[in-house]
Amino acid sequence: MSPQPLYKRVLLKASGEALMGSQGFGIDVAVADRVASDIAEARAMGVDVGVVVGGGNIFRGVAVASKGGDRVTGDHMGMLGTVINALALATSLRKLNVDTVVLSAISMPEICESFSQRQALHHMAQGRVVIFAGGTGNPFFTTDSAAALRAAEIGAEAIFKGTQVDGIYSADPKKDPTATRFETLTHGEVLEKGLAVMDVAAVALARENSIPIIVFSIHEKGGFAQILTGGGRKTIVADN
Ligand code: UDP
């Protein structure tokens, strides 16, 4: 018998970086297709999957502000970038015949449905993958905060933060060969140690709602399904 998932409903956070492949910006369709195949695998196991996509591969509001531009307008551009990524991921999922809907925090009815908790719960109950676009819909936030917010709203049992590495390390493992991976941490420890995994607002919101954060590598094919069944390399952030 194949291993059973430990979760019924989860929220996957995929940063824009996760979709961009090796070209350093934009979307690599082959990479989006691969991430979609991991989500399809989770759905095939019967897990309800909500996805928050980032937009850093397209635009970052802070980049505009740092060049003397208007931060709020920059953040609006960043949020629109998340919609582009959401549409790309939805396209990849639909190619795999996975029933998928995009709900945006910023209304654009010609392009996708608007987010409401009711609609999100309705689509999930129908077995659809729900991709949350537009971040929180507010400037000065990140899609990590959107992930914690949507996870609480859909009653997700955990946030799966797909990153470039397979967990949270004591230092950047790409720069420091002595860096070690934490197996477990509490939300408080992540905040106290200032570990760069999700921003402070996101970790605090997850802690307040007792939602564990599981950090894993989004680049390993089949990695998401493995982690969902309790295997794989990861760091679990949870308060006991
Ligand atoms: N953004 C925002 N409000 C949100 C979410 C995102 O203003 O609730 C903007 C912000 O400019 C951010 C950009 O969208 O820099 C891309 O989001 P994020 O940096 O979280 O993407 P990721 O790093 O996950 O690709």
Looking at residue 181, which CATH number applies to its domain? 3.40.1160.10
Is residue 1 included in any domain, yes or no? no
**Cα of 81 to ligand 1 centre, how many Å?**
8
Return the percentage of the chain with pLDDT > 70, whole number: 99
Q: Residue of the nearest CA to atom 6 in ligand 1?
A: 142
Is 92 within the bounds of a domain? Answer: yes
How far, in Å, CA of 105 to CA of 26, rounded?
Answer: 21
Max mean pLDDT among 2-6, 167-171, 195-199 falls in: 167-171
Distance 209 CA to ligand 1 centre (A): 22
Output the average pLDDT for the chain.
94
Q: Please report whether residue 114 resides in a domain.
A: yes
Residue range 40-90, pLDDT digits in tens: 999 999 999 999 999 999 987 677 777 888 999 999 999 999 999 999 999
pLDDT tens-digit profile of 198-226? Answer: 999 999 999 999 999 999 999 988 999 99
Indicate the annotated binding residues for UMP: 55, 75, 136-143
| Ranges of H-type helices in 45-134 | 61-66, 71-95, 117-125
Q: Under a CB-based contact definition with an 8 Å cutoff, are residues 173 and 165 in contact? A: yes
206 within domain boundaries: yes
Q: Which residues line ligand 1 (CB under 6 A)?
A: 15-17, 54-56, 60-62, 74-75, 78-79, 81-82, 135-136, 138-139, 141-146
CA of 202 to the centre of ligand 1 (A): 12
Looking at the structure of the chain, the number of domains it has is: 1
Residue nearest to atom 15 of ligand 1 (CA): 60
pLDDT of residue 214: 97
Residue 2 lies in a domain: no
Q: Does the residue 3 lie in any domain?
A: no
Contacts of 52 (CB under 8 A, 6+ apart): 11, 12, 13, 14, 131, 132, 135, 143, 146, 147, 150
Query: Quick one: pLDDT at residue 1?
Result: 61
Express each pLDDT in 7-34 by its tens digit: 999 999 999 999 998 888 899 999 999 9
The closest-lying atom of ligand 1 relative to the alpha carbon of residue 76 is 7
Q: Is residue 170 part of a domain?
A: yes
Which residue range forms the structural domain that includes residue 204?
A: 9-237
- Distance of CA 73 from the midpoint of ligand 1 (Å): 12
β pairing state of 113-114 and 158-163: unpaired
Ligand 1 nearest atom to the CA of residue 85, by list position: 25
pLDDT tens digits, 106-115: 999 999 999 9
Task: For residue 230, report the distance from its CA to the centre of ligand 1, in Å.
Answer: 30
